[in-house]
Structures are given as structure tokens and as C-alpha cells.
Amino acid sequence: MAEDKDFFICRCEEVTLREIEQVIDEGYDTLDDVKRITRAGMGLCQGRSCSKVIARIISQKTGKPIEEVLQVSYRFPVRTEKMKALEQGGGSDATDN
């Protein structure tokens, strides 16, 4: 891998290659494990930017096939709503009655 391991793999949570490799070396060898320990993939994009890169890193370091490591589903980012809109039974997706 790269000599400079302090560049961000997960930009949303500012998780570096060094941090990801460290937790893999400690035995955490799934996307969920790396996510729980480092928070990589828990930011605004919910792993859309970094999950495949992290899976490739896990695959390279553990020898597991990428298909075994790669997660198949993503959670959609959450959009905030004002409490007042919820109290009124509305929200940005509700239609006016």
C-alpha cells in the first residue's frame, strides 16, 4: 500500500488508512467490524464513498475474496426535520390537506 498512511479513506468521519489497517491487524476483518471500531462509513454518505475501498483493504490484508467482504446493502442518509413540522403532522414529504 501507500507509504503515507495518514490520508483519509473515510472523509466524512476522517478515518485514515493507518487507523483502518490497525484495526484489521487487531483482528477486526469485516466491514461492520471496521465501521464499529473506527466509525468509517457512518458519516453523511453512509459509506457510499469509502465502503468499497475499505472492503478492498480488508481483502488485501486478510486474503479474503472481495465478494466475501463487500456489504450488499446501504442505509440511506437521514434528513433532519423540524420538530414543529412533525407536531403538525407534516414534514417535507407530507402533502397539504
Q: What is the pLDDT of residues 29-52, one digit of tens each?
A: 999 999 999 999 999 988 888 999
pLDDT of 26 strictly over 70: yes
Distance in angstroms (rounded) separating the CA atoms of residues 48 and 88: 33
Q: Within 10 Å of residue 29's Cβ, how many Cβ atoms?
A: 17
**What gap in Å lies between CA 60 and CA 7, rounded to an integer?**
18
Structure confidence by residue, pLDDT tens digits, 47-75: 888 999 999 999 999 999 998 888 555 55
For 94, the grid coordinates are: 407530507
pLDDT greater at residue 96 or residue 46: 46
Q: Which fold has domain 8-87?
A: Arc Repressor Mutant, subunit A (1.10.10)
pLDDT attached to residue 82: 72
Q: Domain residue spans in the chain?
A: 8-87
Identify the pLDDT of residue 93. 55
Degrees (nearest 5) of the Cα angle 67, 68, 73? 75
